[in-house]
Amino acid sequence: MRNLLILLTSMLVMLIGCSAAENSVNTSSNEENEEAKSEVKESETETPEESSSEPESDDKDTEATDSTGSGEKSEEETEDSKSKSQNTQDSSENEDSEESSEKETKDSKTLTSKEQVKSELTYGGTGEGDEIKSVTFDNGKIEAVINLADDDILTPTLNAINSYSQASDYLLKFEGWDVLTIEYTNVGEVSFNRNQAETNEYGGEYFPSLKIEEQLK
């Protein structure tokens, strides 16, 4: 009987020991599971933070791009401003140059002396063999005596009409005179006031040939 009690007691101790060991194993397994879950949660927590940090980088890149774009735009605006300023200056210089050129042209188209009148009359109103006998230029009045060369085709009168027409057409391009009187040796005299000139469809001034002819009859 005593031996049976000892045996039962030993078996009970063994059962209690096995149960304790099993509980220890279960506890250890639970702890490992908890640790694994905790690591998973930490991993999941870190992932959003990392992903949330990425947009900040994108925002910084965007800001840097915007800043760079703004700088480039500012430089372009500066270049455009310089270009416009240069164009304005060039335009102003061109206008000044044109005004100066027009003034010089106008001055060069003004008769101021007898020598100039004779030179222009020779160039624009005489032909081969024609001779200017005399020229005067006083108070805006031009007076000249021309000896025309013989022409195999034109009569002396027609030759004189043609000569005065050419001379007056040319001299009407100049300022500084009011009356043009030309005497053609052995033909006659033709005289017109500048304000008697007419204007053709191209804006050029002239004295009509018929009116020139009337003075030579």
Q: Is residue 196 part of a domain?
A: yes
**Residue 187 three-state SS:** coil
Same domain for 144 and 199?
yes
Q: Is residue 49 part of a domain?
A: yes
pLDDT, one tens digit per residue, over 127-174 is 999 999 999 999 999 999 999 999 999 999 999 999 999 999 999 999
Same domain for 203 and 134?
yes
Cα separation of 41 and 45, whole Å? 6
Structural domain count, the chain:
2
Same domain for 101 and 85?
yes
pLDDT of residue 11: 74
Cα separation of 120 and 141, whole Å? 15
pLDDT of residue 53: 46
- Which residue among 79, 108, 137 closes a domain? 108
Higher pLDDT, 209 or 88: 209
Residue among 129, 119, 138 nearest 180 (CA): 138
DSSP state of 110: B
Q: DSSP E strands: which ranges in the chain?
A: 131-138, 141-147, 179-184, 188-193, 198-199, 205-206
- Which residue among 108, 132, 157 closes a domain? 108
pLDDT, one tens digit per residue, over 55-87 is 454 555 555 455 555 555 556 666 666 666 566
Cα separation of 217 and 213, whole Å? 7
Q: Is residue 167 part of a domain?
A: yes
Structural domain boundaries enclosing 176: 114-215
**Residue 172 three-state SS:** coil
Same domain for 156 and 206?
yes
Is the distance from CB of 134 to CB of 115 less than 8 angstroms?
Answer: no
- Helix orientation angle between 114-125 and 156-171, rounded to the nearest 10 degrees: 120
**Cα atoms found within 13 Å of the Cα of residue 144, Cβ hemisphere only:** 28
Residue 100 vs residues 88, 94, 95, 105: alpha-carbon distances, Å: 18, 10, 8, 9
Higher pLDDT, 147 or 101: 147
- The two beta strands, 179-184 and 141-147, are parallel
